[in-house]
Amino acid sequence: MKAAYFDGKNMRLDNNYHDPKPGEVLVRVNLTGICGTDLEILDGYMAYDGILGHEFVGTVERSENPDLIGKRVVGEINVGCGNCKSCEKRMDRHCPNRTVLGILKRDGAFAEFLSLPEKNLYVIPDSITDEQAVFVEPLTAAFEIKEQVTLQPSWSVAVVGDGRLAQLIIQVLKLTCPNITCFGRHKSKLKSLINIGVKIKIGIEKSDEQFFDLVVEATGSNSGFADTMKLIKPRGTVILKSTIASRENLDLTPTVVNEITLIGSRCGLFKPAIDALATGTVSIDSMIDSTFPLEKFQEAIQHAKNLTL
């Protein structure tokens, strides 16, 4: 099969890459997204080599379950070992022996095919397009915040970052918390948030410092954490979403002094995300930027990098 292979330093198109391993459901990839984690892996995060890509929608081509064949699916990216205490507690995402699609010891979606266990796959209803379905995985990360924190409608909430994940998080949080401010760097991205009643700011003013009950860091950059710590009030809660290859000069002193609660947050449940797209509760159409064929993966990656500048 064709695949864009990353050897730990460079990517290349391999027209004869080995097929996914047997014993799992074989999925033909329809579309895949490029996210900040993929770009961080290219910079050394996770010391990964293999096929990148974990935001995908595909069509089942081979399965022991005949009812799945021909169905469009998305997939939970973490595959647990099935034998450890974490897996026994249905915490496959935290299995110490897990593989992770396109991130850890498992080839991902920048290829013609991928494979996953049947239990990891979710059938997509016809009302969701392929372009929308690619956003299910990052949208689960947004819904994970609601699983980790009991949100209060009275809270003042800040989201630091204006990329796709930040905008998905804002839409999900706004279902509970109406008072949200987004701190970003790109006027074009921030402008779309005004229509849904979100305050937007470029730069932090003195009146913003230590003002917010909850701050979500979703910048994908080292500077995002420093900005986050300026915004959070004493005894507030910070949600960390960015996976960054390097966090040089990270100062945790304010976390101790101000008794801040730090919560790491990544993957979430798929059903709420699928339901939100199917019902239109969350809209992602404005976030669909460009599509490229697999053979032009280099152009696609460069385009994704340019969007983060």
Per-residue pLDDT tens digits for 220-256 = 777 889 899 999 999 999 999 987 655 566 778 889 9
Q: Identify the pLDDT of residue 245.
A: 56
Q: Identify the pLDDT of residue 19.
A: 93
Beta strands in the chain (DSSP E): 3-6, 11-14, 25-33, 50-51, 55-62, 72-75, 78-79, 99-100, 113-116, 121-123, 157-160, 180-183, 199-201, 212-217, 232-240, 261-264
Nearest in space to 42 (alpha carbons), one of 1, 93, 115, 103: 103
Instruction: Report the top-level CATH class of 139-264.
Output: alpha beta
Nearest in space to 78 (alpha carbons), one of 28, 113, 119, 139: 119
Domain segments of the chain: what residues?
3-135+284-307, 139-264
pTM greater than 0.95: no
Query: Do the two domains 3-135+284-307 and 139-264 of this chain adopt the same fold?
Result: no
CB contact at 8 A, 183 and 158: yes
Q: Identify the pLDDT of residue 247.
A: 56
Q: Which amino acid would we find at residue 280?
A: G
Regions in the chain scoring below 70 on pLDDT = 244-249
What SS3 state is found at 96? coil
Token output for 15: 């027209």
186-191 contacts, C-beta under 8 A, 24 or more apart = 186/162, 189/162, 189/163, 190/162
Instruction: Report the top-level CATH class of 3-135+284-307.
Output: alpha beta
Residue 155 CA to residue 202 CA, distance in Å, equals 21
**Which backbone phi and psi does 74 adopt, to 5 degrees?**
-120, 175
Sheet containing strand 72-75, strands side by side: 113-116, 25-33, 55-62, 72-75, 121-123
Residue 215 CA to residue 204 CA, distance in Å, equals 13
Q: Identify the pLDDT of residue 182.
A: 97
Cα dihedral 113, 116, 119, 121 sign: negative
83-128 pLDDT, tens per residue? 999 999 999 999 999 999 999 999 999 999 999 999 999 999 999 9
Buried b (16+ CB within 10 A) or exposed e, 215-226: bbbbbbbeebbb
What SS3 state is found at 8? coil
